Structure 1
Amino acid sequence: MFRRLTVDVPRILLGLLFLFAAVDGFAWILTGHRLVHPPTSAAGLRFEDALKDSGFLWPLMKSIDLIAALLLLTNRAPALGLLLLLPIITVIVLFHLVLNPGGTPIAVALAVLTAMLVFAYRDRYQALLR
């Protein structure tokens, strides 16, 4: 029961969140329209537009979102999935704290879920820190 609350629930929530982010991102790539339009500050919109206008960062980021989400949801190499997402999660958290303060609750929830999984998979990351 404890493992379910501290590992499985955060793993599934992060997996679903990033699966939806990938689907929404690919919808924009294919159609030019997003599925969801969360309230974003003017500075946040400029940052998002810069990622999209780069031509490669947005598709790369959404591909990583999709691969990592599938790894988390299928529970096949979830530590690798989380490792792939860590740079993106860091940018998302900083984005909400600096450019889009209205999304701070989302940033905090994302940081807490990520921290729970990093702690749960800490033994798998030890070799990286030696």
Structure 2
Amino acid sequence: MKTVFLVTIPRVLLGLLFLVSAIDGFWWLATGNNLIHPPTSEQGLAFEAALQGSGFVWPLIKAVNLIGGASLLFNLAPAFGLVLIAPILTVIVFFHFVLNAQGIPVAIIVAVLGAMLAFAYRDRYAALFR
């Protein structure tokens, strides 16, 4: 029961979030329209436009979202999936705290879910800190 709340639920929720983000990002690449686009600030829109306009950063982020999200959702090397999405998780949190304050509750939830999984998989990361 303990692993359901500390591992399974956060893993599935983050996996779904990142998988949906990847699908939305690839949809934007194919059509120029978003399936889901939460409200954001002017600065947030400018940041997103810069990532999309770079030509390579947006597809790279969405590929990492896809691989990391699928890894978490389907429980295939989930510790590796978390490592893949950790930098993107960090950017999401800072994005909301710096550029889009209305998304701070989402940023906190994502940060807590990521921290719960990092704690749950800490034995798999131990060798990195020796």
Instruction: Identify the TM-score tier after normalising by the shorter chain.
Output: over 0.9
Letter of the 2:27 partner, please give it.
A
Deviation at 1:76, TM superposition (A): 1.1
2:91 & 2:100 partners in 1: Cα distance? 12
2:121: which partner in 1? 121
Q: Secondary structure at the match of 1:27?
A: helix
1:10: which partner in 2? 10
In the TM superposition, 1:92-111 aligns within 5 A as: 92-111=92-111
The gaps in structure 1 that reach 5 residues or longer are none
1:42: which partner in 2? 42
1:129 & 1:32 partners in 2: Cα distance? 42
Deviations 1:14-54 (A, max 9, x none): 00000000000000000000001211000000000000001
1:99 & 1:65 partners in 2: Cα distance? 21
Q: Secondary structure at the match of 1:127?
A: helix
- Sequence identity percentage: 60
**Structure 1 runs, 4 residues or longer, greater than 6 Å off:** none
Q: Secondary structure at the match of 1:119?
A: helix
Letter of the 1:62 partner, please give it.
K
1:73: which partner in 2? 73
1:43 & 1:73 partners in 2: Cα distance? 31
TM-score (norm 2): 0.99
Q: Secondary structure at the match of 2:128?
A: helix
1:82: which partner in 2? 82
2:37 & 2:12 partners in 1: Cα distance? 23
2:26 & 2:8 partners in 1: Cα distance? 27
